[in-house]
Every structure is written in C-alpha cells, then in structure tokens.
Chains A and B, each alone.
Chain A
C-alpha cells in the first residue's frame, strides 16, 4: 500500500462535498522555533477528520491557528472560501466552534447558562435592548433558551440544566463543552482531545455523539491520542510530526504506514522485533546471567580477572536495553489503542 494516496485520490471520490475548512501552507513560528511548518489540511462538509501526532507535534498550535488564537506566520486559513479573521471571537462568529483540551467550562454558571453563553454570537440584543426590554428581547431570549434546551436534550443533560457546571461528572462536563460549542450553530467544530481521561464506555458514548454531530451537518476536526477511537471515527486522518504533516489518508493507510509507526514508536531495533530477535535476546540474557554468576564466583575465589567477564557484562547491558525498548513499544502499537490512563 503506497503512502501517496492522499487528498488527491480521496477528493474526487466524493465530489459533492465542498471544503468547509481549507488551511494552506500554515506555518507558525515562535521566535526561532517553528512549531508548525507548511501544513495543508482540508475538511469537507459532512466529514470527520482526525489529527494525530506524538506529543509536541504541533497539533494544538495548529488548532489555535485555525481558531484565531494565533495568527499564522505564513499561509492562510479559509472557512467556506473566506479568510479567517484574526480574532478568536470573530472566528466563532464566522462559524467555527471549538472545545478545549483541558475542560474550560464556566464552572460557576449553570449548565443552561453555559450553553446560552455559547449562543452569544447568534443573538444580537445589546445592552439597551436588555435594559429597556425592547420587543425583540423576550423573543430572542426565549428562542435561545429553546435552542439551548434542545442541545442539552441532544447530549442528554436536559435534566441537569439547573446544576452548576462544576458539579457535573467529568464525562458530562466534556459533553457540555460540546453542547456549548454547538450552540453557536457552527459549520465546523474542532474537538481537542474529547475523550482524554474517559473510560472505554464513555469513549464509545463520545463516538456516538460525534457521529450524531456529523449527521447534524456539522463537519468535525478532532485531535486525539486514542488511536482506536480515531480510526473508528474518522473518514480521514492527518498525521502531524514535528510540525509537519507526514501523511493524510483513511484509517487503513495511516494505520499501516511505516513512517507513522516510526514517528510514534521510534526507529525499530533492526526492524520490527520478530521471534528471532526475541529468541536472541533470551539467549543473550541467559548467557549474561551465567557469565555474571561465573564472574562473581571467580571474584570470590580471588583469582585474576580475565577479559571474559567484562565482555559478558557488556552483553548483559545490550540485552537488557533491547528488552526494555521492546517492552515499552509493544503496548503502544498503533491500532491496539492507547489504554485509558485515568
């Protein structure tokens, strides 16, 4: 399977979808450090796109470029054909909503109020309207509340509308953040690690929720570390490594790409650790144990140390090193999914 099967091939396959988000050559430099270099990414309507990459790959920086928190040093981001404004509140107004990697709810507001705040850009009543209770005011408030309650029903939190946001359980706080983002009627929603810290059941529920959001006609761009989640969910996955886009394609392509594996796991020890290597390592370990046993025995008897024991020591070191790396790598293999660490 070749790695060149990227947007060029997939784009014509679904011609009726038009691009919602179009990032071209986005580069972000902080002084001498280039956090994101020349990244292109398109998200089409009705699509769920995943963005993965090891820690520090620049995913969140790229995200912040898309949401107006940062202005890209080079390149431009277009939303439905228009270049994004450089302020985050204007971006939301344009139609891109987001959630945060660390939950950032308004913790001392009620659940309903949180969603109503999310509705801010779609309401136009200003201070005078509020003070004088102009005719449009009540109507707008009632509409906003209806919409907010609809969204709460959608995520299954309607019965908790009057609770304080901070008193919700963790999983529900995540959901509420999504509802708050949806309240601005976005065309694209950016989810920053929506399942971080969730248990497997909650993760599955989140998956269902994101599919439901897609079915509402909202395009989704999601950053996530949980590979199983990403590959189940996404139509396309882009891999970001050291600020550059390594690859983009469907789950299968990305999952089996050697460069992705290398980026996540490091260069393998003389290729993938197969059975032969394992056998070798075991043999080396056994030999090393014998050698050390001999060496200590010899030291105890007080005879001159010959060169053999020191060689054996080196062998032991090498052997343990290789086993350690093998042990570290195996659970992280892509596709096996990162187990929940919460």
Chain B
C-alpha cells in the first residue's frame, strides 16, 4: 500500500540534481549498496566467531557459535545495518524501518558497528599486548565493519551550496575556507530528510507499539545498568549513542515521538510500569541500589526543573533542600543518634521533611525573589553552603548538639509501612525483592507524584505565569501576574518536593552527613550535578532531567577508572553538548525552535528592527 506511493515519489526526488548527488568516496552506487549489505551480513556472522584466544579479556570472546560481551553490541549494530540496507533496496516488509530515508541511517549504523568493533579490537590488543592476540574472527569483524563504513560513505547525498574560494586570499585564509567547505560537505553527507507522518493505525496497534518501545527502553536500560566491566560500558555508550543517532536519522524516533505524544498519559503510565518491572529483571540487589540512587537524583532534578526550567529561577543551592528533608526525617526517625529520640510514622516524617524544606524555601525566597536574576543565584549558593556548615557545626562543641556534626545521624532504621518492612527481603510472585528494590518502589511512587505535580502545575494558569515570568518579567507583571507571589510558589514547591525526596534518601543511605550535600563533588546528587542534569537533559521538559540524571549518575558510577579526571571529563562533555545541542538531550518543542532558528526562520526579523 505504502510502497506504491513511494515508488512514484522516489524517482522524482533525485532528478533535479543528478550530477551533484555523489558520495564522499568515489564508488559506483550499486557497488556501495552491495558492499554495505555484504559487510553488514559479514559483521553479523563474525559475531559468532572467536575474536581472541584467551578468556583473559572480559566477556569471553573465544567461543564459536555464540556471541558474548561486546560481540552482542556489534551484533545489534550489524543487524541494524542489514535491516536498513534491505530497506534501502526496497525489500518488502522493511520499508517501514526508514521513514526518513535509509542512507543517513545507514551511515550512522555502520559507524556504530565500526566504532564498537574497532574499540573492541583495540581494547583486546592493548589489554593483552598486541594484535597478535586476535583470532581470525577479530580480523574478519574489523574488515567487515570497515568495508561497510566505506560503502556507506560512498552513498550519494545532496551536496550543499559552497562558497567558492577567493583566489586572492592568502594561503591561510584559503585553507580555512576550504576546511569550512569540507566540513559543510561532511556534515551534509550525514543529513537526513523529514520523516513521513505516521499513517493512523488502530489504537490497539499503537498501544502495542508503545509497549514495544517501552520494553525496548527497559531492556536497554537494564543492560546498561548491568554492564559488569568498563569495556562493556564504554562499548554500550558507543553503541547506544550512535545507534540512537541512526534510529533518529531513519525517522523512527520521530514517528515514535508522534505516537507517544498522541497517547501521552498512557506512555507515562507505561513508563512507570516498565520502571517498576526493573527489580524483577535482577537476580540480586546490586543494581537496584544504583536504580534507587538514580531515582532519588532524578526526582530532585525534576523538582529543580520546576524552579529553573519553568520559572527561570537559577537555584544553585538546591541540594540543601534535599538535605533539609533528609535531616528532618532522620531526626524524627527514631535513630539512636538523633537527639530528639522520637519515632514518627513515615507519612508524618514525609510531612515534616516537606514542611521543613518549605519553610526554608520561603525563608530564602521571600527576601530574594523580589530581586531579579543573578542575586537569587548568589543567595541560593550561599544558602547551600550555610546549610552544610551549620549541620557541621551543630555537634555539641561548636554549637548546640543537634546533628552530631560531621559524623551525621547514623543508623537510621528502615521504614516500616503497614507492616511492610523495607529492610527485609520479600518474595513477590517468585521473585526475591531486596532492601534497595523495596526503596526503589517507594521512590518510584514519589517520582510519580513529582511527575504529576510537574505536569499539572506546568499546564495551568500558574504554570503559564511561571513561563511568562521567565520570558519577560515586566510584560508578565503588566498582564496582571503577581510576580513575587508566583515565583515564591515555584520556589517553595520545588523546595518541598526536594524535601520529600530527602526523607526517603535518609532511610536509603542509613546515615545523613553534611558531606552528602555539597555544591559540587564527584558523587551526585549535588547542586552542580542537579543543575547539569536539568540543563543536559533539557530544561522545561519532563523526561529530560530523568535522562540527564540517569546518565550523570551511571557514567561516574560505571567508569571508576576515570577517578580524578571525572570532573574534567564531565566539564568537557558539558561544553561539547552546549555547543552542539544547547537545548539538551531531550528538547521540548519550544527550545528546539529557540536554539535552532534556521529550522523555521522568521522572515520578518529585519522589519522588526525598525
């Protein structure tokens, strides 16, 4: 059905520029296509060969007939290449894979398998002492991925209009100009077209597709969190990053976004169910620990997103509100080191934590929110430090004995809600659910509340007022918005959400110490990382901070060898991302238009200058 309509349009497209459409490498088109398909197939086959002779390299790549470790990742990218290649041949049943054209997607999938395979080869060579340690299978995969990449680079693309070089320039300018032209051509070779809009499907099918997408997401996340050694995780980052790029270029992501936007509530509910299934995929509590820490971090980041992303208030001391909540909960938790010595039930502890954060939020906000911009950032930065130092000094010697100073409040008992002891292992439907998995579920519930608050407040009178104030405060006031009041609500709401997350955090970590609530440090959550999670993920979006927080927590956690260079690498990544994708990983519609104006150029700017 769809293929007939495409066959009529497909030959029409290349006609205007038949001479221009050549690839980066001079190969005939048929050869290139054959090379890609052959290379892709060979890559898939080679994953079933032995790549090295010894099991000393982690993941056991010595087995014939069964892929292991990094081979799985190469296998996935190889399969992706083969599928896209078949789609580019127009094979029936594969056309739906590339709604935005196969060529750009092929380039990225080939690049993904090339990068992962060659990373493996180099890692084997370096770790075992030379390429001599490779088995023939390793050579085969190297050659196969290289051939595929060469094939994709020979695919024709629409060359951009280049500015001719001025022959009267000096040689340095000419060189720069040529380099710029080359870069433009290179960039254009990876450009993809616009995806076809998805044809309406029966809603049952659409829901099934969304379920599939969510299941894939859960699978990828579970795989990533479960990577056991550094090489596998780096390979995962390469595969996932470039693979995602390939899917984006193929237009599948665009169609998936359309679909999830259509069934938004369903997608969110499904995502929570998928997340709740995560502990059931685990055999022990090891990765549920990471899961619960990611959830705490992500929940706080989402709360910060209300303050920063919606209302535009730069809060540099946000982690202090998490700390206030955690300390408040620890003090009333009945911990032996708590001077209060009272034990409130969890719901009361949550109220105390949220209330304490709310009070501090209003105390900080009320005097400073009358000011604009940078002053608030400075005051919140100061508040963050004041909180930490106060907790440090209320140890009985420098001040009153409340928090035990740097020792913190230790041995916080596990929660017990309606007889459900969070410290014990439980058996649900044959699966063993450990302590951290219990807290994982509780945290998921709290995150659901925060998501609900974010969505409902964002899409209301007060949410619009926040955005209006972020955009132009004077105009917002002239619209009758009580700027101070509205900003204070945003600030206090953000603070109390962080306080709620803090109450759970205190129980998860057993101990609260002042050093958990730094402005910047290697371990998230701290204020700088929280802000980075919001900015990296995408300001003002819901899923952005979640993705940003997951990445920012996983990467330092998994790549232990980076050690001291972690913050340096983090800074570099942040700069690169802000240069090339300032709207964050997940951009909302607004920011995408805001930062990439060329995409939808307003033709009237010149006129507005009058």
Contact = CB atoms under 8 A, between A and B. Distances in A.
B456 interface: yes
Contact of B590 (A87, A108, A133): A108
A125 interface: yes
A104 B460 contact: no
A130 B463 contact: yes
Interface stretch (A29-37, A111-119, A221-229, A266-274): A111-119
Interface stretch (B294-302, B313-321, B480-488, B548-556): B480-488
A109 B594 CA distance: 10
Interface string B89-111: 00000000000000000000000
B271 interface: no
B27 interface: no
Interface residues of A, number: 49
B76 interface: no
Contact of B608 (A89, A117, A121, A170): A170
A126 B460 CA distance: 9
B461 A125 contact: yes
B610 interface: yes
Contact of B479 (A107, A120, A167): A120
Nearest to B464: A117
A89 B475 contact: no
A117 B479 contact: yes
Contact of A137 (B460, B467, B471): B460
Nearest to A132: B456
A92 B590 CA distance: 28
Contact of B600 (A67, A130, A167): A167
Interface in A40-74: 67, 69
A141 interface: yes
A130 B464 CA distance: 12
Given A120-B479, A169-B604, A130 B461 contact: yes
**B456, B460, B603, most chain A CB atoms within 10 A:** B460
Contacts of A120: 461, 464-465, 468, 479-481
Interface residues of B, number: 37
B608 A103 contact: yes
B456 to A, nearest CB: 5
A327 interface: no
Contacts of B476: 106, 117
A100 B473 CA distance: 13
B610 A342 contact: yes
A315 interface: no
A169 B475 contact: no
Interface string A80-122: 0000000111101100011010011111110001001110110
A93 B480 contact: yes
A163 B468 CA distance: 16
A108 B468 contact: no
Contacts, number: 124
B593 interface: yes
Contacts of B174: none
A108 B471 contact: yes
Contacts of A125: 460-462
Contacts of B590: 108-109, 164
A196 interface: yes
Name the residue in A89, A103, A123 with the highest tally of chain B Cβ atoms < 10 Å from its Cβ: A89
B460 to A, nearest CB: 3
Interface in B420-475: 452-453, 456-457, 460-465, 467-468, 471-472, 474-475
A88 B475 contact: no
Contacts of B607: 169-170, 197, 342
A100 B468 contact: no
Interface in A131-190: 131, 133, 137, 140-141, 144, 164, 166-170, 173, 180, 184
Contacts of B465: 117, 120
Given A100-B475, A170-B607, A341-B610, A127 B457 contact: yes
B338 to A, nearest CB: 32
B475 A126 contact: no
B478 interface: yes
Contacts of A116: 461, 464
Contacts of B463: 130
B372 to A, nearest CB: 15
Contact of B462 (A105, A121, A130, A180): A130
A106 B472 contact: yes
Contact of A108 (B474, B594, B600): B594
Nearest to B471: A106
B489 interface: yes
A166 B475 contact: no
Given A103-B608, A123-B461, A131 B456 contact: yes
A120 B461 CA distance: 7
Contacts of B154: none
Given A104-B472, A342-B610, A130 B457 contact: yes
Contact of B475 (A87, A104, A133, A184): A104
B602 interface: yes
Given A103-B608, A108-B590, A109-B468, A127 B481 contact: no
Given A88-B477, A108-B590, A109-B464, A166 B610 contact: no
A109 B588 CA distance: 12
Contacts of A88: 477-478
A196 B610 contact: yes
Interface in A197-242: 197
Given A196-B610, A197-B610, A342-B610, A89 B464 contact: no
Interface of A: 67, 69, 87-90, 92-93, 97-98, 100, 103-109, 113, 116-118, 120-121, 123, 125-127, 129-131, 133, 137, 140-141, 144, 164, 166-170, 173, 180, 184, 196-197, 341-342
Given A109-B590, A120-B479, A127-B462, 13 more contacts: A88-B477, A105-B472, A105-B475, A108-B593, A108-B594, A117-B468, A117-B476, A120-B464, A120-B465, A121-B479, A164-B590, A167-B593, A342-B607
- Top 5 A-B residue pairs of the complex, sorted by shortest distance between their CB atoms: A342-B610, A121-B480, A92-B480, A130-B460, A197-B610
11 contacts: A69-B478, A89-B482, A92-B478, A100-B475, A105-B475, A120-B464, A121-B480, A130-B457, A141-B460, A169-B607, A197-B608
